[in-house]
């Protein structure tokens, strides 16, 4: 198998695969697999657009090659770009659009428990379906909602937005930060079982101070005004 069967060119938003037009498809498939296995460490879990070049592929063949890429690396191919439109500018647009679509469809949800040492950073507001354990951290440029017990660190409005809030079904955080204000909880006696009753609370900034309030209609009104 010639080493030039598949040539990989990349830019920050996408990759171009230049395929050998002569090679039998089966060999080509193996060459693609090999190429991505070798470069998996380089790309890590990048989200990219992809263009096939140098060979006319059927839909079925495109699908097979995409499968091969997904299996042999952690790259997420967001979209396929036509050969003619291949330019960094266009790639950027295509990737952004695809990412936005992904966000809209999936939303910023995190499923599962965040454990000690795990850091969840998001550009937008985030909902966590699970607990945030002591030592875990959630950093969001928007709001944070924890549908579970929050015992770790919360940081809402990380880019300085003082209008952000953090809420949890059980609010026992070590530290809460909103914009540039920070509060820390009193250390609870660790001899307790760690079982806390559900007591939904919201943390927000009012007159430059962090407020932690039960989620009731009055308190929400106060926050909203």
**Nearest approach, Cβ of 137 to another protein (angstroms)?**
7
Return the number of the residue (101 or 184) whose C-beta is nearest another protein. Answer: 184
Return the number of the residue (89 or 121) whose C-beta is nearest another protein. Answer: 121
Residues 179, 171: Cα–Cα separation, whole Å: 19
Q: How far is CA 42 from CA 37, 38, 51, 67, 185, in A?
A: 10, 8, 18, 19, 42
**Nearest approach, Cβ of 184 to another protein (angstroms)?**
4
**Nearest approach, Cβ of 201 to another protein (angstroms)?**
17
The token pair at 70 is 């997904």
Residues 154, 143: Cα–Cα separation, whole Å: 10
**Nearest approach, Cβ of 188 to another protein (angstroms)?**
10
**Nearest approach, Cβ of 193 to another protein (angstroms)?**
12
Q: How far is CA 180 from CA 55, 109, 123, 176, 208, in A?
A: 55, 25, 17, 11, 9
3-state secondary structure of 102: helix
**Nearest approach, Cβ of 212 to another protein (angstroms)?**
14
Return the number of the residue (55 or 181) whose C-beta is nearest another protein. Answer: 181
Return the number of the residue (87 or 116) whose C-beta is nearest another protein. Answer: 116
β pairing state of 175-178 and 181-184 = antiparallel
Q: What angle do CA 30, 33, 39 make, to 5 degrees?
A: 140
Residues 109, 107: Cα–Cα separation, whole Å: 6
Q: Which residues in this chain contact another protein in the complex, by CB under 8 A?
A: 116-119, 134-135, 137, 174-175, 182, 184-187, 189-191
Return the number of the residue (14 or 173) whose C-beta is nearest another protein. Answer: 173
Return the number of the residue (191 or 224) whose C-beta is nearest another protein. Answer: 191
Nearest alpha carbon to residue 114 among 101, 102, 126, 129 = 129
Return the number of the residue (45 or 225) whose C-beta is nearest another protein. Answer: 45
**Nearest approach, Cβ of 182 to another protein (angstroms)?**
8
The token pair at 178 is 């909103």
């Amino acid at each position: 198998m010639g080493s030039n069967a598949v040539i990989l060119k990349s830019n920050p938003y996408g990759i171009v695969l230049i395929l050998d037009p002569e090679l039998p498809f089966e060999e080509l498939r193996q060459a693609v697999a090999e190429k991505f296995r070798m470069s998996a460490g380089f790309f890590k879990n990048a989200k990219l657009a992809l263009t096939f070049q140098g060979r006319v592929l059927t839909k079925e063949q495109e699908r097979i090659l995409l499968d091969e890429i997904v299996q042999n690396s952690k790259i997420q191919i967001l979209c396929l770009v036509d050969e003619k439109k291949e330019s960094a500018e266009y790639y950027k647009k295509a990737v952004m659009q695809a990412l936005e679509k992904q966000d809209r469809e999936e939303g910023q949800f995190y499923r599962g428990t965040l454990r000690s040492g795990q850091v969840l950073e998001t550009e937008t507001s985030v909902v966590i379906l699970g607990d945030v354990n002591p030592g875990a951290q959630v950093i969001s440029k928007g709001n944070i909602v924890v549908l579970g017990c929050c015992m770790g660190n919360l940081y809402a409005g990380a880019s300085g937005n003082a209008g952000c809030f953090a809420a949890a079904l059980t609010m026992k955080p070590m530290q809460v930060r909103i914009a540039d204000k920070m509060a820390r909880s009193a250390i609870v006696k660790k001899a307790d079982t760690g079982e806390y009753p559900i007591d939904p609370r919201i943390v927000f900034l009012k007159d430059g101070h962090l407020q932690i309030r039960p989620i009731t209609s009055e308190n929400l009104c106060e926050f909203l005004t």
